[in-house]
Chains A and B, each alone.
Chain A
Amino acid sequence: MKEILNIKNTKERIDRIEDILASVASGDMDARINSEIEDDFSGIEAAIDLLINDLTDELRQRENMQKELENKLSKIQDQQKTILQQQEDLLELSSPVSKVWDNILILPVIGTLDSQRTQVMMENLLQKIVETGCTISILDITGVPTVDTQVANHLLKTVTAARLLGAECIISGISPAIAQTIVHLGIDLSAIRTKATLQDAMIFAMKQNKRADEVRALGNLALPNEKTD
């Protein structure tokens, strides 16, 4: 026996399904078939509506996730900007040159010496040498964990530039490990006066000061003597 399907208005309803699917495909997620007729075909219509519902949910979820990701991305970008800004700030802050005694400048170097930072450091030091007229400057590299050829090269250049301005540079704070490393690298730092600790450098600088004073005093003595002779 053949079963007879009970379907009304078949043509119109199939057309309607096509219309609805077309509008969903073009982005209208509110379109539903919502058929009011109850017969053998309404199950399929209801199923299509359910599928559209599921699809809508999925799409919304995806949109939300995308928004969340975008938010996170912009947050990270902001943080990156802050980090870059802070790096720049640090560059300025990290090269303080101070006069600690008559005729003596100290430049404590902490962290890593890259080319940009060395440039700032050198400028600061030379500027200060000119401003204060100090003739001895101590570069303390206790806080520099790694001295490679580039850093050594920068140090040599800084010392040479300071010497051109009439100031002697003393480098202090070379750790035993770094000393061995420099020797293995083959770098010749003998042109630079170096001291193990900041204290040694300070003592040396003050002795230099004292000697300069004595020479000056001798000069003062010598002058009247010459006149009386």
Chain B
Amino acid sequence: MLEFTYKAHCDLLGKFKIDTEYDIVTVRQTIRQYAKDMGMGIVDQTRITTAVSELFRNMYNYAGGGEVLIERGEVENHHALIVTCTDQGPGIEDIELAMTDGYTSGQGMGYGLPGAKRLVDRFEIQSKLKEGTTVRMMKWK
């Protein structure tokens, strides 16, 4: 569904499902650990953890859950931690609007998606109505 912007080979670190609020916590802890293992500093660890937390919450709140793929690879001469979130939810009607600060279709603050984008080095989002949404984020080491 999503066009890869990277062609380099990357190693799969893990594949998880987000079905409950509890999963959000455990998977983001796992990602924090991967970030730490890659040698990221505390600030970068916190950034990637917070960014994925935003996406997991979106998946949980709007799509009833989804799948998370965690990879590690070389992108544009950087060591990158790559997190891909896929859901089969209702999809996002207007991605540009969804990426606007302060806009929310639900009860949130409207900073989740644009905030997450600012927290990582690469952010790609694709969505199709009634089919789902895929978001891929990368954080350089």
Query: Which residues of chain A have a CB within 8 Å of any CB of chain B?
Result: 87, 112, 114-116, 145-150, 152-153, 175-178, 180-181, 184-187
Contact = CB atoms under 8 A, between A and B. Distances in A.
5 contacts: A150-B53, A150-B112, A177-B47, A178-B46, A186-B101
A115 B75 CA distance: 36
Main secondary structure of the interface of B (DSSP, over half): helix
B107 to A, nearest CB: 8
A150 B101 CA distance: 15
B28 A185 contact: no
A149 B108 contact: yes
B21 interface: yes
Contact of B119 (A150, A152, A176, A181): A181
Interface in B9-35: 21-22, 24-25, 28, 32
Given A181-B43, A184-B118, 19 more contacts: A112-B25, A115-B21, A145-B46, A145-B49, A148-B50, A148-B54, A149-B108, A149-B109, A149-B112, A150-B108, A176-B43, A177-B42, A177-B46, A180-B43, A180-B47, A181-B46, A184-B119, A185-B111, A186-B111
Contacts, number: 71
B109 A152 contact: yes
Contacts of B21: 114-116
B45 interface: yes
Contact of B25 (A114, A153, A176, A181): A114
A146 B101 CA distance: 20
Contacts of A180: 43, 46-47
A150 B22 CA distance: 15
A148 B42 CA distance: 16
Nearest to B56: A148
B114 interface: yes
